[in-house]
Every structure is written in C-alpha cells, then in structure tokens.
C-alpha cells in the first residue's frame, strides 16, 4: 500500500472529534470590522469528517491516474484539400471525381486538379450546367401596367367622364 492509502485508512479509523467554528450571527462585513465577534462551536465527529476527506482524496487520485482522453482534432491532408477546393467553388460531384482520379494517379487532390483527364471532366460538367441553364423556359413577359383613366383617355363614356368629374370635385 502507498503512503497516501495508509493515510486514508488511518483517517477513517480515527474516532476523535473535530471542532468546527461557525458564527451565524455576524455577517462578513461585521466580522472584518470586529474580530472579537461571538463564536458558536459545533462538533462533528472526526470519523465522519475523515470519511468525507478520504472519499475526496480517493476521487482525486482516480482522476489523476485516469488517462486523459485525447481529442483527435487533426484534420487529414485530404480533408484540408477538400475544403480548399470547396472554397474555390468546385462542386462536390467534381471533388468525388477528383478523389477517384487522385487515388488512381497516386497524387494529392490539389496536384490532380491539373491532370488532363480531370480538366476534361470539369469542362464537360461546366458545359452541362450551362446547357441546363440555357434550357430554362423563356420568360412569360413582364406584367402589363393597367393604365389609369384620365379626362384625356380616348373612348371614355359620358358616364365614366361624369364619375371622374365628381370624384375630382370631391363630391
């Protein structure tokens, strides 16, 4: 057994009492101002105190001996290159094609971007996207603006003219 374990066993076997000094009648500011404040004494069995202390020390020792979990935040080189290519505007489909080609060639993703096969695949995809955009339906035209009728509008009936005159006069 280690020295720390011996201390824990001795502390739990002891039956002495420990005195705790608690002053509930004064506040912290009063205690600072008057150091001779009234003091109440309460006793707690030392065995209970030592048991709690022993459990705390045991938990502390377990935490110290426990291997730390290492979080692997290290990104692989391929992941970094993917993020670079995505930020450059390359689609995920093209990146998948690039991954396959880079495995075949045994090169990195960035080095494979200049490969003639990938360049041809990229051009074909871009051409396909342009064609799809060109296939979009024609616009249905802009909405026609409804003309407001005025006194000079041709083909105005006498009733419409009379209504317009009344509304302009505020009647």
Q: Distance between terminal CA atoms of the chain?
A: 109
Task: Tell whether 83 is covered by a domain.
Answer: yes
Is 100 part of any domain?
A: yes
169 against 141, higher pLDDT: 169
Alpha helices in the chain (DSSP H): 3-13, 28-33, 46-65, 77-87, 92-105, 109-112, 116-134, 158-169
Confidence band of 161 (pLDDT split at 50, 70, 90)? confident
Q: Do 7 and 34 sit in the same domain of this protein?
A: yes
Query: Is pLDDT above 50 for 12?
Result: no
% of the chain with per-residue pLDDT over 70: 63
Residue 85 and residue 57 in one domain: no
Question: Given this model, what pLDDT does residue 20 score?
Answer: 46
Domain count, the chain: 2
For residue 2, pLDDT over 80 is answered with no
For residues 38 and 59, membership in a common domain is answered with: yes
Asked if residue 32 is part of any domain, the answer here is: yes
Interatomic CA distance for residues 102 and 100, integer angstroms: 6
When pLDDT is averaged across residues 20-38 and rounded to a whole number, the result is 48
Residues 8 and 57 in one domain: yes
CB atoms within 10 A of CB 81: 21
Task: Return the closest-CA partner of residue 50 out of 11, 95, 5.
Answer: 11
For residue 71, the model assigns a pLDDT of 56
Within this chain, do residues 28 and 59 fall inside the same structural domain, yes or no?
yes
Whole-number pLDDT of residue 3: 59
pLDDT digits 0-9 by tens, 39-94: 555 566 778 888 889 999 999 888 888 766 655 666 788 888 999 999 998 899 99
Tell me, yes or no, whether 140 lies in a domain: no
Domain, as residue range, for 7: 3-65
5 or 12, which is more confident = 5
Span 20-34, average pLDDT: 47
Residue 13 vs residue 150, higher pLDDT = 150
* Tokens describing residue 63: 């935490």
pTM score of the predicted model:
0.38
Torsion of CA 156, 160, 161, 162, to 10 degrees: 160
Q: Whole-angstrom Cα distance, residue 99 to residue 93? A: 10
Q: What pLDDT is attached to residue 133?
A: 85
* 82 & 44 share domain: no
């Amino acid at each position: 057994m280690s020295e720390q374990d011996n201390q824990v066993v001795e502390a739990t076997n002891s039956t002495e009492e420990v005195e705790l000094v608690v002053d509930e009648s004064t506040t912290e500011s009063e205690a600072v101002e008057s150091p001779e404040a009234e003091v109440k004494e309460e006793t707690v069995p030392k065995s209970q105190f030592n048991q709690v202390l022993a459990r705390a020390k045991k938990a502390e020792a377990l935490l110290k001996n426990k291997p730390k979990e290492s979080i692997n935040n290290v990104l692989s080189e391929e992941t970094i290159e993917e993020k670079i290519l995505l930020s450059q505007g390359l689609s995920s489909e093209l990146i998948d094609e690039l991954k396959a080609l880079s495995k075949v060639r045994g090169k990195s993703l960035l080095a494979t971007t200049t490969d003639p096969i990938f360049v041809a695949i990229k051009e074909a995809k871009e051409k396909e996207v342009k064609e799809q955009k060109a296939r979009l339906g024609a616009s249905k035209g802009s909405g026609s603006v409804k003309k407001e009728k005025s006194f000079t509008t041709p083909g105005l009936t006498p009733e419409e003219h009379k209504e317009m005159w009344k509304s302009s006069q505020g009647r």
